[in-house]
Amino acid sequence: MNTKKLQIIEAAIRLFAQDGVGVTTAAIAKEAGVSNGTLFNHFETKQMLIDDVYLFIRRNMADVILSHVDFSASVLDVCFTQWITFAHWSYDHLTEYRALDVLNSSQLLGESARQDAEELWEPMLEKLKDAQACGTLDPISPELTCITAQSYLHSLVVYANRKKYTRDETEMIFREAFRVYWRGIAISASCLDEID
């Protein structure tokens, strides 16, 4: 990705997080230190910019989180690692998280951007399906399991930020919350004792 395009995406992230998606392209261009014409050379429409910003954040988030997950481990370990790594990512990348939340809530995302982002998490869906097939998890749709996790994680991020918790305090809250979440999706929660 060239420097100017990256500047525009990073500026859009900051402004979307701060002011929402209603921010003008002129304001984004100014924040990026480029002309409005340069912005439109890289993104023909604001819709393209919104979709690209969304995918940029989701790809970076998935790269960080999934790089920590060993998919050959138990589904408990996979889910727990992903959960805690998300806690760290959201704490360390709060502006990106806020922009992502704004974009998810805006209903302005293109359907292809949403689908592309969902495909990033395909290994997780496969792990959940396998765990359901062998009786570890409740036989509800893996997509519903993921949506439930996303909602819960969002609430935890909002709570931790409102309380202004440190990174370690945030992780502790996420650890405790995972135990509650796991009890809701697992056939048996006895394996929770394995989590330190």
User: pLDDT, tens digit, for every residue of 53-78?
Assistant: 999 999 999 999 999 999 999 999 99
68 with 123, same domain? yes
Mean pLDDT computed over every residue of the chain: 93
Contacts by 148-154 with C-beta closer than 8 Å and gap 24+? Answer: 148/181, 148/184, 148/185, 149/79, 149/83, 149/181, 152/177, 152/181, 153/83, 153/86, 153/87, 153/90, 154/101
- The structure tokens 């819960």 sit at 152
Is 189 a residue whose pLDDT tops 80?
no
Indicate if 40 and 56 belong to the same structural domain. Answer: no
Looking at the fold, whether 19 and 86 belong to one and the same domain comes out as no
Within 10 Å of residue 77's Cβ, how many Cβ atoms?
Answer: 16
The answer on pLDDT for 111 being more than 70 is yes
Output the pLDDT for position 196.
Answer: 57
Count of the separate structural domains present in the chain: 2
Residues 89 and 141 placed together within one structural domain of the fold: yes
pLDDT at 171: 94
What pTM value is reported for the model? 0.90
The pLDDT assigned to 180 comes to: 94
Q: Is the pLDDT at 123 greater than 70, yes or no?
A: yes
Whether residues 24 and 87 share a domain: the answer is: no
Q: 171 and 189 in one domain?
A: yes
Strand partners, 137: 186
Q: Do residues 39 and 59 share a domain?
A: no
Q: Which CATH number does the domain housing residue 3 bear?
A: 1.10.10.60
User: At 88, which CATH number?
Assistant: 1.10.357.10
In percent, how much of the chain has pLDDT > 70? 95
> Model confidence over 124-178: pLDDT tens digits?
999 999 999 988 998 888 889 989 999 999 999 999 999 999 999 999 999 999 9
35 and 116 assigned to the same domain = no
Q: If phi over 0 gives left and psi between -120 and 50 gives alpha, with beta otherwise, what is residue 135?
A: left
193 band by pLDDT with thresholds 50, 70 and 90: low
Report the pLDDT value the prediction gives residue 60, as an integer from 0 to 100: 97
> Model confidence at 192, in pLDDT bands (50, 70, 90)?
low
Do 135 and 38 share a structural domain? no
Confidence of residue 195 (pLDDT cuts 50, 70, 90): low
- Across the range 100-121, mean pLDDT stands at 93
pLDDT of residue 126: 93
The reply to whether 123 and 98 lie within a common domain is yes
> Does residue 65 sit in the same domain as residue 133?
yes
Domain co-membership, 170 together with 99: yes
Range of the domain at 32: 1-44
Give the lowest-confidence range in 22-36, 142-156, 181-195. 181-195
